[in-house]
Amino acid sequence: MRLLFLGDMVGKTGRTAVWEKLPGLVFDLKLDFVVVNGENAAGGFGITEDIFLETINAGADVVTTGNHVWDQKEAVSFAGRHEQFLRPANYPAGTPGRGSGIYYARNGARILVANIMGRVFMHPELDDPFKSAEAILAACPLKEQADAIVFDFHAEATSEKQCFGHFVDGRASLVVGTHTHVPTADCQILNGGTAYMSDAGMCGDYDSSLGMEKEEPLNRFISKMPKGRFEAASGPATICGLGVEISDRSGLAEKIAPLRIGPRLAETIPSFWA
């Protein structure tokens, strides 16, 4: 099974690039399932219902989020209406929406996707991500209720991301980090067969500071005083993510490689799909 994960869409340029490129990627690469993190899609802060729906229409099967999920107030009301929209599963009981779900891939496989948020250097500090993941896996074990399991682990600290990967190794198909907006060079398959990458990177303008126009972040580092608001950068976007080949027999990863399309970063498409 061929699965594509795309990192945080940032602002108009990031979401537009995904909408323009994703239909062709689904067709050309014969993708069975696509997950996109959309938590920075609306001006860099949160996501609207229209943006969510447009991302689904472009070919995403699930849209995940993170700490900015509620930045757009309408998300509180639409989160519960769409099964393909996920907020972190370790929010307290009673939070609108859902943190995980089972979806059907284009090849008929059952895919469990779970959105989990880390706690190190993160706000708000949510429930224990490890306990949340354990409960999700206990309720839907790999190759029993699910043919593949994907975790979007939205976190700041790479140590927490790596430990989470080892925690679910052999019990999930993929653990991919989001939130830090910079693609890491540690694509690998862990000892137990789980594909892992500390951060997928962002879909946005890399002539920026994490997708934001660089002048105001730079000013705050130098002067320690705000001069204005953070604004999403509007230059040409690079799409960043990763591709994973998942065994139909075991539900574990067989191949993993980064995907990058656009300016500034070296372009690459997983060689096993080229």
Residues annotated in a binding site: 8, 39-40, 67, 154, 179, 181
CA distances from 87 to 15, 60, 117, 131, 261 (A): 18, 16, 9, 17, 27
Residue 123 CB-density burial (10 A; 0-12 exposed, 13-18 middle, 19+ buried): exposed
Phi, psi of 136 (to 5 degrees): -65, -45
What tokens appear for 213 in the block? 């126009």
Question: What value, to the nearest 5°, has the Cα angle with vertex 244 and ends 81 and 50?
Answer: 25
Catalytic residue among 68, 82, 123, 166: 68
Contact (Cβ atoms closer than 8 angstroms) between residue 32 and residue 140: no
Output the CA torsion sign for 157, 153, 184, 232.
Answer: negative
**Helix pair 11-28, 49-58: axis angle to 10 deg:** 20
Q: What element of type H or E holds 254? A: strand 253-261
SS3 of residue 116 by DSSP: strand
At 202, the amino acid letter reads: M
- DSSP 8-state code for residue 61: S
Q: How far apart are CA 10 and CA 39, in angstroms?
A: 8
Q: Which candidate, 81, 48, 88, places its Cα nearest to that of 67?
A: 88
123 is catalytic: no
Residues of each annotated binding site for Fe cation: 8, 39-40, 67, 154, 179, 181
What tokens appear for 267 in the block? 């372009």
Q: How far apart are CA 261 and CA 39, in angstroms?
A: 20
Please list the active-site residues: 68
